[in-house]
Amino acid sequence: MDPKLEAVESRFAEIGELLTQPDVVSDNSRYAELMKEYSRLGPIADKIKEYKKAEAENSEARELIAEGGMDDEMKAMVSEQLNESSAALETLSEELKLMLLPKDPNDDKNVIVEIRGGAGGEESALFAHSLYRMYTLYAASKGWKTEVIRINETELGGCKEVTFSIEGQGAYSRMKYESGVHRVQRVPETESQGRIHTSTVTVAVLPEAEEVELELNEATELKIDVFRASGAGGQHINKTESAVRITHLPTGLVVECQDERSQFKNKDKAMRVLRSRLYEMQRKAHDNEIASKRRSMVGTGDRSERIRTYNFPESRISDHRIGLTIYKLDSFLNGALDEVIDALALADRTEQLANNDQG
Supply the pLDDT for residue 227.
84
**pLDDT tens sequence across 93-120:** 988 988 888 778 888 889 999 999 988 8
The CATH number assigned to the domain holding 164 equals 3.30.70.1660
Supply the pLDDT for residue 287.
61
Q: If we measure between CA atoms, which residue out of 321, 269, 293 comes closest to residue 114? A: 269
Residue of 357 and 150 predicted with greater confidence = 150
Domain boundary among 49, 72, 99: 99
Supply the pLDDT for residue 295.
45
pLDDT(217) > 90: no
Whole-number Å distance between alpha carbons of 139 and 162: 16
Asked whether residue 359 is domain-assigned, the answer is no
**% of the chain with per-residue pLDDT over 90:** 49
Supply the pLDDT for residue 231.
57
The CATH number assigned to the domain holding 266 equals 3.30.160.20
Please report, for the chain, how many H helices and E strands are present, in that order. Answer: 10, 11
Asked whether residue 338 is domain-assigned, the answer is yes
Domain hosting 191: range is 111-210+300-354
Supply the pLDDT for residue 303.
55
Task: Looking at the structure, tell me whether residues 129 and 205 fall in a common domain.
Answer: yes
Task: Looking at the structure, tell me whether residues 28 and 168 fall in a common domain.
Answer: no
Q: DSSP code of 236?
A: B
Q: What is the DSSP string of 71-122?
A: -HHHHHHHHHHHHHHHHHHHHHHHHHHHHTSPPPTTTTS-EEEEEEE-TTHH
Query: In the predicted model, what is the mean pLDDT of residues 298-322?
Result: 82
Asked whether residue 234 is domain-assigned, the answer is yes
Asked whether residue 106 is domain-assigned, the answer is no
Task: Looking at the structure, tell me whether residues 203 and 307 fall in a common domain.
Answer: yes
Task: Looking at the structure, tell me whether residues 193 and 313 fall in a common domain.
Answer: yes
Task: Looking at the structure, tell me whether residues 163 and 179 fall in a common domain.
Answer: yes
Query: In the predicted model, what is the mean pLDDT of residues 247-272?
Result: 86
The 3-state DSSP class for residue 215 equals coil
Task: Looking at the structure, tell me whether residues 338 and 198 fall in a common domain.
Answer: yes
Which range, 1-10, 73-82, 192-201, has the best average confidence (pLDDT)?
73-82
Supply the pLDDT for residue 235.
46
Domain boundary among 46, 76, 99: 99
pLDDT(331) > 80: yes
Which range, 131-135, 154-158, 262-266, 270-274, has the best average confidence (pLDDT)?
131-135
Task: Looking at the structure, tell me whether residues 233 and 349 fall in a common domain.
Answer: no
Task: Looking at the structure, tell me whether residues 32 and 131 fall in a common domain.
Answer: no
Task: Looking at the structure, tell me whether residues 82 and 115 fall in a common domain.
Answer: no
pLDDT(80) > 90: yes
Supply the pLDDT for residue 357.
61
Domain boundary among 288, 310, 340: 288
Supply the pLDDT for residue 302.
54
Asked whether residue 105 is domain-assigned, the answer is no
Supply the pLDDT for residue 164.
94
Q: If we measure between CA atoms, which residue out of 128, 132, 126 comes closest to residue 187? A: 126
Supply the pLDDT for residue 298.
53
Asked whether residue 104 is domain-assigned, the answer is no
| 5: Cα separation from own chain's centroid | 26
Query: In the predicted model, what is the mean pLDDT of residues 188-201?
Result: 80
Asked whether residue 335 is domain-assigned, the answer is yes
pLDDT(296) > 80: no
User: 323 in the Ramachandran plot: left (φ > 0), alpha (ψ -120 to 50) or beta?
Assistant: left
Residue of 272 and 182 predicted with greater confidence = 182
The CATH number assigned to the domain holding 33 equals 1.20.58
Asked whether residue 295 is domain-assigned, the answer is no
Domain count, the chain: 3
Task: Looking at the structure, tell me whether residues 58 and 130 fall in a common domain.
Answer: no
Task: Looking at the structure, tell me whether residues 202 and 314 fall in a common domain.
Answer: yes
pLDDT(234) > 60: no
Q: What is the mean pLDDT of the chain?
A: 86
Task: Looking at the structure, tell me whether residues 40 and 155 fall in a common domain.
Answer: no
